[in-house]
Copies of this chain bind each other. A is one copy, B any other.
Amino acid sequence: MGWRAREWPLPATLGSMTTSGEPFVDRLARAMAATRSIACVGLDPVLEKLPAAAREGRSDVDAIGHFCEGVLQAVAGVVPVVKFQSACFERYSAAGVGKLHALIAQARELGLLTILDAKRGDIGVTAEHYAHAALVAAGADSLTVSPYLGFDTLEPYLAAAGGGKGLFVLVRTSNPGSDGLQSLTLADGRTVAVAVAEMAAEFGRKSMGANGLSSIGAVVGATKAGDAAALRRAMPDQVFLIPGFGAQGGKAEDIVPMLRARPLTGHASSLIEHGVLVTASRSVIYPTSIGDAAASWAEEVSKSAQNLNRELAQILNSGL
C-alpha cells in the first residue's frame, strides 16, 4: 500500500471553524483568511482514475474512501473548503452514502469547511427532508441547490441544523448546453440566468453574515464570462462558487469580471471581499506530474492545491 498522506500541520485558528450557529459566510471568511486562499478542492472520485496503490486490496468504495482521506489530509490547511460530489458516492448505494458522511465528518475535523454538491431541489416538506439529509444527517456546512421550483422551496434550508448553514444556488452553469434554458431572453430584456440571479440576491438577504455578505451564494461557471459582469451586478453580496476553472477551459480572464469591486464596509480588508470561491477537482486530485508513485501522491496533491492558490492570488492582484 504505502500510500499514506502526510500529516499536515493545522493553523491554530482552524480549530473553531465548525462553530454551529455562526453564519456560514463568516466561517468562510475566517477560513479564507487562515489559509490565505479562495480555492475549493472538489472531491469527484472516480474509480478508474485512482492511483493503483489506493485500490490495492480494497473494495471499490473503500478505495474511494481511502483516496479521499488522503486528499483531505493533503489539502487541510492549504485551502479553506472542500466540495463533495454526491453522485460519485451515491452510485455505490448505501455503502457509498455511508462513506460520504464519514468523509464529511473527517473534513470538518481537519478544519475544512464542506460543500455537499448535490444540486437538490424539491417542494414543501420534501425540501425539509433534503435539508435534514444534507445539513444534519450528512453534516455538511453548505449545499448546492436548484432554483427551478422557485425560491419558496429553499426556505427549509435556512432553518436546518439550527441555522447558520450555507447554500449555493445554481444560477449559470459551465456546461455547453446550459444556454438552452439559462440564456433565454425574457420580455423585459433580462436573461433567465439574470432573473434567477436577482431572485437569489433577494432571497439571500434572509441570511446575511456579520461581514455584510450573504450565506446564500451562487454557482456561476467560469466558462460563462460573457455573463459575469451582469451576474455580479445582480448579486453584489453573493459569494460565487465558480466551477469550470482549469479542466473545463475557464481562464483567469473569466474570473476577473466576477470579482466584487467594493470593499466590505466596517471590516478590515479580507479575502472574502472579492466574493469568489474557485473550485477545481481533476487538476488537483489527479496531479499529472507523477505516475503511480504512491509515496509522493499526497505531497503532489498538496502541491497542486498550492499551485492553484498561487494562480488565484495572481488573478486577485491583476484584477484590482
Contacts and interface: CB of A to CB of B under 8 A. Distances in A.
A150 to B, nearest CB: 3
A30 interface: no
Interface residues of A, number: 58
A184 interface: yes
Nearest to A203: B180
B152 A181 contact: no
A91 B123 contact: no
Nearest to A132: B91
Contacts of A148: 146-148, 170, 173, 181-182
Contacts of A192: 181, 184, 192
A266 interface: no
A195 B184 CA distance: 9
Contact of A90 (B124, B127, B130, B151): B130
A293 interface: no
Contact of A151 (B133, B177, B196): B177
Given A93-B138, A122-B119, A192-B184, A150 B129 contact: no
Contacts of A95: 94
A85, A187, A199: residue with the most chain B Cβ atoms closer than 10 Å? A187
A26 interface: no
Given A93-B138, A181-B147, A175 B152 contact: yes
A149 B170 contact: yes
A51 to B, nearest CB: 19
Interface of A: 44, 46, 85, 87-88, 90-95, 97-98, 101, 119-127, 129-130, 132-133, 136-138, 146-153, 170, 173-182, 184-187, 189, 192, 195-196, 199
Q: Identify the 6 closest CB pairs spanning chains A and B, nearest first.
A: A152-B177, A150-B177, A87-B129, A94-B98, A90-B133, A123-B175
14 contacts: A87-B122, A87-B127, A90-B97, A91-B130, A92-B137, A93-B137, A121-B121, A123-B175, A146-B148, A148-B148, A150-B182, A152-B177, A153-B177, A184-B192
Given A87-B127, A152-B175, A152-B176, 15 more contacts: A44-B125, A44-B126, A87-B126, A91-B130, A93-B97, A93-B98, A93-B137, A97-B97, A121-B146, A149-B175, A149-B177, A150-B181, A150-B182, A184-B195, A192-B192
